[in-house]
Amino acid sequence: MAEVMAGRKSPSVQTQEVQGIWANKRLLGVDTMTDREIVKKILKKVKQTSFMVQRDKNRVGNDEGHSFLNDMESLKNRFTKMEADHNRELRRHAEELQKHTREFHEEKKKLQASDEQTIKVRASELEWLNDSYDHTARLERNEIVHRADIQIDLKALKYLEITNPNRFKSACKGFEYLHSLSWENRAGIENFPQDVAEIAVIRGNMTTLTRWKTPDADSTVTAIVSLCDTIVKKQLESHNGGNAYMYAAMKADCNNVKEHYQKACKVFC
């Protein structure tokens, strides 16, 4: 910097000198257009040749150049931030789209499964009317019809609440008997993870379907139903702000119950 500025007066000193010259001319009564033009040219030259050092970047240049570069850098930073915000918003929308797409496909699968179950029931009913039916298909029909699907049962209660309050009260008692849960638990039930909902179905089936009402199955039913109740209780407590039921623990508990249930089915079904 010392080398650059060597032999050159600082801009402020140069400006002060020019302003002094102009002041002296005015004191001497010299105030012609020619003099004004001369001073303007001098001031312009001083401004153009003034130097500024940016210590952090070690750059040397005139004021206008640095001002322009600073403006461009500021503009670049603004556009960089805008681009980052835009990309972040795009990622958020993409994640939401993936979530909704996944939910759509899950609901579609449920509807397809429901349609298939309805067809199986109707096929069995048509056979039954002819007094000739497949025994295995009839058992499957009975399980579909009497299946304790807690989510569908909840929808049934909502339907009765609107259409028939008297039936609604009676159905609520049946719901509580079947699932050991009350209508007041509906918010937590609606938010059951799929695994927990399946456990609730297992519990309902084992307490209502005929094939589980044999003396030999009694101890097995009691043990599995107890495990189901523990899982449902933990999930509801977590939903209501109690101890968190971590996903990994919930998944492991549900898989354990499903394994026991499948083994029991091979013995008693």
Q: Name the DSSP class of 52.
A: E
The pLDDT assigned to 78 comes to 83
254-263 per-position pLDDT tens digit: 999 999 999 9
The pLDDT assigned to 83 comes to 87
Q: Identify whether the C-beta of residue 208 lies closer than 8 Å to the C-beta of residue 146.
A: yes
Establish if 83 belongs to a structural domain.
no
Q: Identify whether the C-beta of residue 179 lies closer than 8 Å to the C-beta of residue 148.
A: yes
The pLDDT assigned to 141 comes to 80
Q: What angle do CA 115, 132, 143 make, to 5 degrees?
A: 40
92-122 per-position pLDDT tens digit: 988 888 888 888 887 777 777 777 878 888 8
Establish if 246 belongs to a structural domain.
yes
- Write down the pTM of the prediction: 0.54
The pLDDT assigned to 123 comes to 82
Distance CA(232)–CA(200), nearest Å, equals: 7
Establish if 141 belongs to a structural domain.
no
Establish if 200 belongs to a structural domain.
yes
Establish if 146 belongs to a structural domain.
no
The pLDDT assigned to 66 comes to 66
DSSP string, 178-212: HHS--GGGHHHHHT--HHHHHHHHHHHHHHHSGGG
Q: How many domains does the chain have?
A: 1
Helices (H) and strands (E) in the chain, counts: 11, 2
Establish if 111 belongs to a structural domain.
no
Q: Which residues of the chain have pLDDT under 50?
A: 1-11, 13-14, 18, 22, 25-31, 46, 49-57
Q: Name the DSSP class of 217.
A: G
Q: How far is CA 207 from the centre of its chain?
A: 37
Establish if 93 belongs to a structural domain.
no
The pLDDT assigned to 80 comes to 86
Give the residue among 148, 241, 139 at the shortest CA–CA distance from 187: 241
Q: Identify whether the C-beta of residue 238 lies closer than 8 Å to the C-beta of residue 196.
A: no
The pLDDT assigned to 28 comes to 43
Establish if 13 belongs to a structural domain.
no
Domain residue limits at 199: 193-268
